[in-house]
């Protein structure tokens, strides 16, 4: 394991995160106690989720499905705590918040890899089946429940079958590696330090009194999201079949990454905004969730397209395999464009709804 | 030259097409003289276009551009006469009309090949430039004025450059062959028999008196069009990014041809309907022309996709070339889907406009 030196160190004087010395929401007198309660309460609850998931993961034993579910919950709790530490940083000790956030981001990033490989393989095998006309519908499977396409491969054209076998080999290897890396991470001293800090957070959240700042901080998160959305080429995305996502599709990954980056940024900011709303109240905006789901689809399709292009660079593959991977790459870039179109529809729709209220 | 025996023979007793014995529009007394005049007048005018184009072609000498323009006019006149003979068959001698129509279809089909190769090559090289990010916009060049992509090829990725070179080689060869075939056709006895028949048609059209049948025949053509449009999956085409055109895109040409066929059929029936309207009056429906243009684009993109897939089956090509051809194939199938979407928009729009009148 070659994890970099953690940028976040446990202060030696407390033997843990410097939370004990901070006032918690319960200590706050006057100011904005309800808001302080909301933030501390949210952090307590997510820290509880984190610890519960960790226990479930430890108890899963040889039940790989239970282990995967527990890892997923652990990842979701980590992301929510990290996002909250980021958005509500003004109400927290900034050094402590930044340090724990970086560690939680490392953890959720590490845990995400295995799941991402499964999703990518399922998506690519589903697309190859569709492109070969061996599935009933033209829609792409987006669930990750079945990544084993061996049975279907028999009905694919030779190029498609070889492409499927190549992708299955490469992504299964990547998934196995990601699984080992995740297990190593969960057994590391670095992880145990994070888990200790979250254990403290489950009962004591170091929220500092700063009246009225909770909605302000959430508002700042929303503004960052709106600014990032304003920078998107939504007008262009609103014209179906604009061929934008495949523009320079043969010019290599950097060209595609450059056009995808603003969308990925909005995806992250939308998630932070959603988490901030969760802190402020239990109500969730279904349009926001839908918009986030479309940006997830955008990201998944972009990564699948990238994987197809990468597989095509494998030495000594047959031209028929390369051809199928080219079709697959373009198909997934088309999905990227479709996700942008759908996001734009939902976003403009939600703006219209809000303006009418 | 291996043209099949013409299915349409010049009757020996007249030394030409049996038009002299037929009453012309001018001979018609009573019944529907104005309508008869309209049909005869239209046939006279198009036959005149035919003869003028033929003379221009003969006089073009070494001016290849003038020759190409003249061949295009000749083709357009041939198609219009053939279409009119088909639609208004009840007002004409059916054996004569069917015979001349078959010969004119052979002629326009033969003349179309060279132009189609030029259009296809321009479209494919334009798409490769766009896919390589070497053109300013993401829109596909649809004009055929420049098919030489040599200068641009320098900026393409290796796979794209090789694919462009391969397609240029294959389509230039096909174009040269089509050019020879067209020249041979224009010098053949079969063509001279057609030209003689059209020369007679320029002054005498064998329109038989049948009161009121002109609008009826045009109405039948419109009904065939409407029935064919009703059989199209317009609901599906109206959902952007339905991925239908690439469904079974790796299953080989027959699967794609099967889903394209109903659209090609509508394209032909729409053209017949437009020609029938030309006979009835000078007014043209811009929406009909636009819809026809979109179905031309549908056909062009489908044939370009087919050419890309065919080039990928060339023995001993590099995987990078095959990959680029796969991306290109998928890109052109997206154009097919985009054309269906746009056709559906125009069609539903025109229906709404008509219903509101």
- Mutation pick from B159, B315, B323, B340 vs chain A, by most beta carbons of A within 10 Å, is B323
User: Which among A133, A317, A341 has CB closest to B251?
Assistant: A133
What per-residue confidence (pLDDT) applies to B154?
A: 56
- Cβ of A249 within 8 Å of Cβ of B331? The answer is yes
Count of alpha carbons within 13 Å of A217, Cβ hemisphere only? 24
Could you say which residues of chain B have pLDDT below 70?
1-36, 136-155, 352-357
What interface predicted TM-score (ipTM) does this complex get? 0.85
Instruction: Give chain A positions within 8 Å (CB) of B133.
Output: 247-248, 250-251, 255
Could you say which residues of chain A have pLDDT below 50?
1-31, 138-149, 151-152
Q: Does B251 touch chain A (CB under 8 A)?
A: yes
From A239, A262, A252, A247, select the one nearest A333 (Cα to Cα): A247
Q: Is B62 exposed, middle or buried (0-12, 13-18, 19+ CB in 10 A)?
A: exposed
- Cβ of A327 within 8 Å of Cβ of B329? The answer is yes
Over the stretch B44-92, which tens digit does the pLDDT of each residue have?
A: 999 999 999 999 999 998 999 999 999 999 999 999 999 999 999 989 9
Q: Is A71 exposed, middle or buried (0-12, 13-18, 19+ CB in 10 A)?
A: buried
What per-residue confidence (pLDDT) applies to A248?
A: 86
Instruction: Give chain A positions within 8 Å (CB) of B326.
Output: 322-330
- Cβ of B323 within 8 Å of Cβ of A323? The answer is yes
- Cβ of A319 within 8 Å of Cβ of B324? The answer is no
Q: Tell me which chain B residue has its CA closest to the CA of residue A330.
A: B327
What per-residue confidence (pLDDT) applies to B354?
A: 64
- Cβ of B334 within 8 Å of Cβ of A243? The answer is yes
State how far the Cα of B94 lies from the Cα of B207, in Å rounded to an integer.
Answer: 11
- Paired residues of A92 in beta bridges: A207
User: Which among B139, B159, B242 has CB closest to A250?
Assistant: B159
Q: Does A143 touch chain B (CB under 8 A)?
A: no
State how far the Cα of A171 lies from the Cα of B258, in Å rounded to an integer.
Answer: 34
Instruction: Give chain B positions within 8 Å (CB) of A156.
Output: 250
In three-state form (DSSP H/G/I as H, E/B as E, the rest C), the secondary structure along B34-79 is: HHHHHHHHHHHHHHHHHHHHHHHHHHCCCCHHHHHHHHHHHHHHHH
Please answer whether residues A261 and A269 qualify as being in contact, where contact means their C-beta atoms are separated by less than 8 angstroms: no
What per-residue confidence (pLDDT) applies to A34?
A: 61
Radius of gyration of chain B measured on its C-alpha atoms: 22
User: Which among B130, B240, B250 has CB closest to A159?
Assistant: B250
Q: What is the DSSP string of A261-283?
A: HHHHHHHHHHHHHHHHHHHH-S-
- Cβ of B326 within 8 Å of Cβ of A331? The answer is no
How far are the Cα atoms of A149, A203, A329 from residue A146, in angstroms, in the given order?
A: 8, 39, 21
User: Which among A138, A160, A322 has CB closest to B323?
Assistant: A322
- Cβ of A251 within 8 Å of Cβ of B157? The answer is yes
From A283, A157, A193, A222, select the one nearest A11 (Cα to Cα): A193
Please answer whether residues A47 and A198 qualify as being in contact, where contact means their C-beta atoms are separated by less than 8 angstroms: yes
Over the stretch A46-60, which tens digit does the pLDDT of each residue have?
A: 999 999 999 999 999
Please answer whether residues B19 and B200 qualify as being in contact, where contact means their C-beta atoms are separated by less than 8 angstroms: yes
Q: Is the dihedral of CA B66, B71, B75, B77 positive or negative?
A: positive
Q: Tell me which chain B residue has its CA closest to the CA of residue A325.
A: B323
The single-letter DSSP state of residue A92 is B
State how far the Cα of A93 lies from the Cα of A18, in Å rounded to an integer.
Answer: 9
User: Which among B133, B243, B244 has CB closest to A248?
Assistant: B133
A313: tokens are 């660079």
State how far the Cα of B246 lies from the Cα of A219, in Å rounded to an integer.
Answer: 44
B175: tokens are 């174009």
Size of interface A-B (CB pairs under 8 A): 158
Instruction: Give chain B positions within 8 Å (CB) of A155.
Output: none
What per-residue confidence (pLDDT) applies to A213?
A: 81
Distance from CA of B32 to the nearest CA of A (A): 49
Q: Does B341 touch chain A (CB under 8 A)?
A: yes
From A335, A240, A345, A348, select the one nearest B345 (Cα to Cα): A240
Distance from CA of B160 to the nearest CA of A (A): 7
Distance from CA of A304 to the nearest CA of B (A): 14
Over the stretch A178-213, which tens digit does the pLDDT of each residue have?
A: 999 999 999 999 999 999 999 999 988 888 877 778
What per-residue confidence (pLDDT) applies to B119?
A: 97
State how far the Cα of A258 lies from the Cα of A230, in Å rounded to an integer.
Answer: 17
What per-residue confidence (pLDDT) applies to A351?
A: 74
For tokens 């290109």, what's the residue? Answer: B328
What per-residue confidence (pLDDT) applies to B135?
A: 74
User: Which among A128, A240, A323 has CB closest to B325?
Assistant: A323
What per-residue confidence (pLDDT) applies to A252?
A: 84
What per-residue confidence (pLDDT) applies to B356?
A: 64
- Cβ of B241 within 8 Å of Cβ of A331? The answer is no
Q: Does B357 touch chain A (CB under 8 A)?
A: no
State how far the Cα of B260 lies from the Cα of A63, in Å rounded to an integer.
Answer: 49
For A271-307, b/e burial (b = at least 16 CB within 10 A) is: bbbbbbbbbeeeeeeeebebbbebbbbbbbbbbbbbb
State how far the Cα of B241 lies from the Cα of A331, in Å rounded to an integer.
Answer: 10
State how far the Cα of A252 lies from the Cα of B157, in Å rounded to an integer.
Answer: 8
- Mutation pick from A311, A319, A324, A335 vs chain B, by most beta carbons of B within 10 Å, is A319
């Amino acid at each position: 394991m070659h994890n970099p030196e953690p940028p976040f160190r446990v202060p030696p004087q407390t033997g843990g995160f410097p939370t004990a010395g901070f006032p918690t929401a319960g200590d706050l007198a006057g100011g904005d106690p309800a808001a302080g309660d909301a933030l501390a309460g949210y952090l307590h609850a997510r820290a509880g989720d984190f610890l519960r998931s960790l226990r479930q993961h430890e108890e899963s034993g040889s039940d790989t499905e239970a282990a995967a579910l527990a890892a997923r919950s652990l990842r979701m709790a980590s992301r929510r705590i990290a996002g909250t530490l980021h958005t509500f940083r003004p109400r927290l000790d900034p050094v402590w918040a930044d340090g724990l956030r970086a560690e939680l981001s490392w953890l959720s990033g590490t845990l995400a890899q295995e799941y991402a490989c499964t999703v990518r393989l399922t998506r690519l095998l589903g697309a190859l089946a569709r492109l070969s006309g061996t599935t009933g519908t033209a829609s792409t499977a987006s669930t990750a429940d079945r990544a084993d396409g061996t049975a279907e491969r028999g009905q694919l054209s030779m190029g498609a079958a070889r492409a499927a076998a190549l992708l299955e080999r490469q992504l299964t290897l990547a998934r196995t590696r990601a699984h080992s890396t995740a297990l190593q991470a969960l057994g590391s001293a670095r992880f145990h330090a994070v888990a200790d800090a979250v254990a403290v957070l489950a009962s004591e959240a170091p929220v500092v009194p700063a009246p009225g700042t909770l909605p302000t901080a959430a508002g700042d998160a929303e503004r960052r999201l709106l600014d990032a959305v304003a920078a998107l080429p939504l007008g262009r995305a609103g014209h179906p079949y604009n061929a934008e996502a495949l523009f320079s599709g043969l010019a290599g990954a950097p060209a595609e990454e450059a056009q995808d980056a603003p969308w990925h940024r909005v995806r992250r900011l939308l998630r932070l905004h959603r988490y901030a709303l969760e802190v402020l109240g239990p109500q969730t905006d279904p349009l926001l969730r839908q918009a986030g789901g479309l940006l997830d689809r955008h990201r998944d399709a972009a990564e699948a397209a990238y994987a197809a292009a990468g597989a095509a660079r494998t030495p000594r593959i047959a031209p028929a395999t390369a051809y199928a991977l080219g079709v697959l790459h373009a198909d997934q870039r088309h999905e990227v464009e479709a996700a942008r179109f759908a996001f734009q529809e939902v976003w403009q729709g939600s703006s219209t709804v809000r303006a009418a209220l």
